[in-house]
Amino acid sequence: MQAELVSNKRVGAYHHMSFSVGDLASQALPGNFVAIAVGGEASSMILRRAFAIYRSTEKGPQGGLIELIVAPHGQGSRWLTNLPVNSTVDMVAPLGTHFGIPTEPVRALLVGGGYGSAPLFGLAELLKSRGCRVDMVLGASTANKIYAPLEGKRAVSSLTITTDDGSMGVQGQITDVLPEIITDKEIEIIYSCGPMGMLQAITQVSEQFGVMHQCAVEEAMACGIGVCMTCVLPVTGEDGVTRMLRSCIDGPVMDGSKVIWDSKRKIPEGTFGA
Ligand SMILES: Cc1cc2nc3c(=O)[nH]c(=O)nc-3n(C[C@H](O)[C@H](O)[C@H](O)COP(=O)(O)OP(=O)(O)OC[C@H]3O[C@@H](n4cnc5c(N)ncnc54)[C@H](O)[C@@H]3O)c2cc1C
Ligand code: FES
């Protein structure tokens, strides 16, 4: 669809961008992502760029909105964040799987690395509306890469921040603070989003404490709709068989304990069909 950019604000190291998408907003759930064509009609950047949906609002003064948190990173994301308000982009949305919401209230910990916090604020709202207690950990290399710490504080029961350089919160990595929080808050499920190394490290901690872990993986994607196989990663199913799954349609939300994290982009021996 053609989505109109209705707001584009710089927030720390990121851009908070809102797009008018009409009724499509009602179909988006926390964990879903969008794929946007970048560079304009004559661009050589043929691959769409994927961005997690930060929030979707069904009915506002501007109709249905999808909001994104975009880090100006390479050519495509810089083009996007430089767009003036009222521009239109070619967007495919909503894509991928969403976070699973428990049927009973649980004690949930939401963990986001850098812009990986994007889908977690909407998820916090949804979990709270189902009676869950929600705690949050946000981590980044430095303070201005922590997205909206004040919003985080308002959204959840407790917010812990970690930065590699100690410029905000606890100096260190997200996994340094997890064991204490899991124990103190009696966490039953972890939801996470961020770089793959961080998701792998969280999986190790969650397994150590016997806590479920749903993570939104961020594997490089080209088509975003299950056609090109760029985004495959090895995942072991309930039947014990490992298969190469497409993180754009079988994910991005996956059970962290089922992902073979240390495959180093190789197909593990014994994988189905290999
Ligand atoms: C599920 C998912 C969710 C994500 N969520 C977010 C988010 O919420 N916020 C965020 O900031 N980022 C997010 N990302 C990361 C985001 O998709 C990348 O940062 C973005 O693709 C960077 O694009 P770029 O052009 O700026 O960077 P580049 O590094 O320049 O390019 C990124 C990709 O495009 C390819 N490419 C580069 N140039 C060209 C060209 N000329 N022609 C064709 N292909 C080219 C590269 O090979 C690479 O695969 C997410 C990624 C995934 C998979
Ligand atoms: S990105 Fe093409 S199959 Fe997943």
The average pLDDT across 167-193 equals 97
Strands 158-163 and 170-171, by their bridges, are parallel
Nearest-5° angle of CA 44, CA 45, CA 51?
A: 165
Tell me the CA–centroid distance for residue 43 and ligand 1, in Å: 15
Q: Which atom of ligand 2 is nearest to the CA of 223?
A: 2
Tell me the CA–centroid distance for residue 74 and ligand 2, in Å: 20
Q: What is the mean pLDDT of the chain?
A: 93
The average pLDDT across 234-247 equals 94
Task: Match domain 2-95 to its CATH number in 3.90.700.10, 1.10.357.10, 2.40.30.10, 3.60.40.10.
Answer: 2.40.30.10
Q: How confident is the model at residue 264 (pLDDT cuts 50, 70, 90)?
A: low
> How many helices (H) does the chain have, and how many strands (E)?
5, 16
Model pTM?
0.93
Residue ranges of domains in the chain: 2-95, 107-263
With CA atoms as reference, report the closest residue to 169 among 199, 140, 201.
140
Q: Which of 46, 233, 248 to mutate to test the pocket of ligand 2 (most atoms within 8 A of CB)?
A: 248
Residues 6+ apart with CB under 8 A from 201: 173, 174, 175
With CA atoms as reference, report the closest residue to 188 among 255, 257, 106.
106
pLDDT of residue 274: 67
Q: Do domains 2-95 and 107-263 have the same CATH topology?
A: no
What is the rounded CA–CA span in Å between residue 79 and residue 193? 24
Tell me the CA–centroid distance for residue 165 and ligand 1, in Å: 26
pLDDT (tens digit, 9 = 90+) per residue, 98-147? Answer: 999 998 999 999 999 999 999 999 999 999 999 999 999 999 999 999 98
Two structure tokens written together for 35: 């794929």
Q: Which residues line ligand 1 (CB under 6 A)?
A: 33, 44-47, 49-52, 68-71, 73-77, 115, 118, 218, 220-221, 252
Task: Match domain 107-263 to its CATH number in 3.40.50.80, 3.90.1150.10, 3.10.330.20, 2.40.50.100.
Answer: 3.40.50.80
